[in-house]
Amino acid sequence: MSSDKREFEVGGKQYAVRVPTVQEIKEANETRSRTFNEALQRGDMLREQLESELRKRELWNDQREMEYQTLRREVIDGEYKLQKGGIKLKAAKDVALQMANNRNKMVELLSSRTDLDSNTCEGKADAARFNYLFACCLVYGDSGAHYFPNKLDDYLVNQDDPVAVAGATEFYYLLSGSDTIDDRLPENKFLRKFKFVDEDYRLVDEEGRLVDKEGKHIDQFGNYINWKKDDTFVHIDDKGREINDEGDFSDEHNPFLDDSGKPIDEAVYEEVVEETEEAEEADETPVEAEKPKPKAKSKAKRKPKAKVAAKTESEESS
């Protein structure tokens, strides 16, 4: 892969992101300035106001600041230990893993700050600049033609496009000059060098098989497994007991013993259980409600209203 572009594949088709031209960078900077001024005129927050706003919303306080700075110092101390060396390799591995854990905690602490920063004038301006450059630099791998013919306008309404999602990551790596930021972290360099992790920074043993932090073998989904001599594995629970695909224990059942140590005939008990279940099912069978009996029809016939009315008129005339 050349230094002026990065190629990638989505759905069996080739795409690429290239380095922006001088003209594109100039236009992107103009877009950034315009976005910043518009946000400022709307009254959006500036980055220098971020600290006070975080504390106002109770998203940051002195305790979190102290915790963050403590983690930061521990990471720096770990970097020093790995650079200096002179300690057992196992101890150095523990240092590197603790550094990685501390960095994750730092990211969690800063998550609210990062989210709020994206809404500042500077955050919106930086995002607009990146989006403009990316929309210009995402191209088809075979022809080099723009993936978004209308550039930014097309990208803004298609940001969830799988090609756009994958391309944005590749473009970030292209601009930063590194495949991933993780590659540059001292602890990851150490772990990769001594083959404690694989290419995706997942912990592995001496044979390259996945393990957890305690050294127990796991599959790609984090389930415990036990490797066999024929290079196959079976799933186990956290105590090493074999389980099947349904999550049930695989060991065959042995009869229980009576007080004298003799096997109990469990078939007798199974018959009792089956009879009980059948009885319960019978009790739960809904009983059809009895239909109400039809009322007996009266034998007396009512006189038609017309005749009654006629008789009344004749009586009145007499």
291-316: average pLDDT: 44
Specify the length of the chain in residues.
318
Instruction: Please state the rounded mean pLDDT for residues 275-281.
Output: 64
Domain region containing 59? 5-189
35 contact partners, CB below 8 Å, separation of at least 6: 124, 125, 128, 129
| Extended beta strands in 135-281, E state | 138-140, 225-227, 233-235
Q: Do 131 and 152 touch, CB atoms closer than 8 A?
A: yes
| Cβ-proximal residues to 138 (8 Å cutoff; 6+ apart), any chain | 15, 16, 17, 146, 147, 148, 155, 163, 164, 167, 171
Domain assignment of residue 140, yes or no: yes
Secondary structure of residue 117 in the 3-state scheme: helix
Examine residue 278 and state whether it is found in any structural domain, yes or no: no
Residue 163 pLDDT exceeds 80: yes
Task: Say if 285 falls within a structural domain.
Answer: no
Across the range 86-91, mean pLDDT stands at 97
Q: What is the separation of C-alpha 84 from the centre of its chain, rounded to a whole number of angstroms? A: 38
Does residue 262 belong to any structural domain of this protein? no
Q: Using CA atoms, how far apart are residues 215 and 238, in angstroms rounded to an integer? A: 12
Task: Provide the number of structural domains found in the chain.
Answer: 1
As given in the structure block, the two tokens for residue 272 are: 């009792």
pLDDT one-digit tens code per residue, 127-139:
999 999 999 999 9
To the nearest whole percent, how much of the chain has pLDDT over 90?
A: 58
Instruction: Report the sign of the C-alpha dihedral through residues 80, 81, 84, 89, in that order.
Output: negative
What mean pLDDT value characterizes the chain?
Answer: 85
For residue 37, name the pLDDT band (cuts at 50, 70, 90): very high
Tokens of 156: 């803004």
Q: Mean of the pLDDT values across residues 223-244?
A: 88
pLDDT band at residue 240 using 50, 70 and 90 as cut-offs: confident
List the structure tokens of 122.
């500077």
User: At residue 74, does pLDDT exceed 60?
Assistant: yes
Amino acid in the structure at residue 159? Q
User: Would residue 63 count as lying in a domain?
Assistant: yes
For residue 147, is it within any domain?
yes
Least confident of 108-122, 191-205, 230-244, 280-294: 280-294
C-alpha 132/C-alpha 267 separation (Å) is: 75
Kindly state whether residue 299 falls inside one of the protein's structural domains: no
